[in-house]
Structure 1
Amino acid sequence: MTKKLIPLATLCLALSACTTLPFTSGQPPSSQAVAPYREQVDLAGRLNVVYQKNDKPESATVNFTWQQQAGRTDVTLFSPVGSTLATIAVTPQEAVLTQSGKPPRSAPDVDTLSARLLGWSLPVSGLRDWLQGYATAADGQRFAASPQNDSVTTRDGWRLRYVSWQDAASPGAPPQPRRIDAERHASAQADAVSLRIVLDPATAVSAP
């Protein structure tokens, strides 16, 4: 009986030893920060927004494309069935928002312009950072997200949380955001807005 138990005990010890080995799945380490920031990116995804209109909560869901260069950002918003709702072009000098069948409207501040015409503000200047996992924290320090360090309050009052991440393109690759939640409470300068952003996997990688 003792001789029969020896191989079984040896097997149990081997299995126990195996369970203590670190697990590797191809995902980036939880402490690894996002890839270095790039000025030029090409993204697409879905955006859900909850906002206040006439003191009542409203919501909208749109698809979007995001084309970013060093001195310009172009955003196109689509309905769930694919029709174009609006295009937004932002440069350091101005923001221009065009809706279907309406003349373009421009203003120096895209947040105010989008809130006036769409009913909710789209913080394009912040999203240039957020979509790549970066932000300027409330203390003015540069924030770089990681799966282990996934939330921050920005200098302009947004609370960001990186809820999920893209599957790694290759083992050891830096993590890339998949879902981002952003919330801003009402203040004297702005209304309360909540955003949920989900990036498409095929476009999550920054353009070269």
Structure 2
Amino acid sequence: MQALSSVFRHARRASLGAAAALAVALAGCATSPHGPSTSNATPELSTQTSHAYHGRFAVRYLDQNGKSRNAYGNFDWQQQGDTVTLQLLNPLGQTLAIVTSSPASASLELPNRQPVTADNVTDLMQHTLGFALPVEGLRYWLASSPAPSSRAKTVVDPDQSSRLKEIDQEGWTIQYLAYADAPATGVKRLDLTRENPPLDIKLVLDR
């Protein structure tokens, strides 16, 4: 796949049809995890806090016919305690989908349609869009921490031991490619890949 900076330059010229396809299906090509790891890392992040992330995404996926396609756009992530609201937008800023997840329920809204609800966000996205975005894991992974829900393997950044380079958890490999420069803090770029079903997501956070 091209470097992410090149991907986003092409994204500005991408058609709305390619971006809107994200609201129908996301499945894609993944890379294999590698490198040394340690297990049972203890996450430091508590969900009883507020977090907001804004940025850009690039997704490589397979359509219903098995053809490889790409989708690009922007995202807005709002987290209040255990509730997450994720808005996906195309490159022109038009809403593709709004997903809300809480421990008790989840809802998904597409443009000009009534919201659809389910007991959890994984089932909702799988049945509505044909894929399951890792919202529950992302609430921790965006903060460079393993989720507390399952066993995880982590790789520490060799250049700075206080930072993580990689997390392998729940079938996902999360690679941290860049952190914000001081005085800003937090993750700047990360890749998420999964083999089964395959999916490749690239995120750039603009704080």
Alpha-carbon distance in 1 for matches of 2:150, 2:136 = 18
CA distance in 1 between partners of 2:116 and 2:193 (Å): 26
Residue in 2 aligned with 1:165? 179
Would the alpha carbon gap of residues 145 and 64 (structure 1) be closer, same or farther in structure 2, given more than 3 Å must change?
Answer: farther
After superposition, where does 1:57-96 map in structure 2 within 5 Å? 57-96=68-107
Counterpart position of 1:194: 200
Aligned-partner SS, 2:125? helix
Tell me how far apart the structure 1 counterparts of residues 194 and 152 of structure 2 sit (CA, whole Å): 19
Q: Write the mapping of 1:96-111 to structure 2, written as runs, cut at 5 A.
A: 96-111=107-122
CA distance in structure 2 between the partners assigned to 1:115 and 1:81 by the alignment: 26
Quick check: 1:153 aligned with 2:188?
Answer: no
Over residues 78-108 of structure 1, what are the superposed CA-to-partner deviations in whole Å (9 max), with x where a residue is unaligned? Answer: 1100111111111111110001101111122
Aligned to 1:180: 190
**Structure 1 residues without counterparts, runs of 5 or longer:** 1-35, 204-208
Instruction: Tell me the amino acid that sits aligned with residue 85 of structure 1.
Output: L
Q: Which residue of 1 aligns with 2:58?
A: 48
Structure 1 position 37 matched with structure 2 position 45: yes
- Provide runs of 4+ in structure 1 moved above 6 Å: none
Residue-by-residue CA offset, 1:106-129 (whole Å, 9 max, x unaligned): 122323423444454321101100
| Aligned equivalents of 1:145, 1:131: Cα separation in 2 | 16
Q: Please give the secondary structure, in 2, of the residue aligned with 1:134.
A: coil
Tell me the residue number matched to 2:9: none
Q: How far, CA to CA, are the matches of 1:121 and 1:64 in structure 2? A: 16
Q: Percent identity?
A: 29
Q: May I ask how many residue pairs the two structures share in their alignment?
A: 158
Amino acid at match of 1:51: Y
Larger Rg computed on CA atoms: 1
Is the CA contact 1:94–1:109 (under 8 Å) kept in the aligned structure 2?
yes
Structure 2: where are the runs of 5+ without partners?
Answer: 1-43
Q: Given that residues 114 and 120 in structure 1 are in contact (C-alpha distance below 8 angstroms), is that contact kept between their aligned partners in structure 2? A: yes
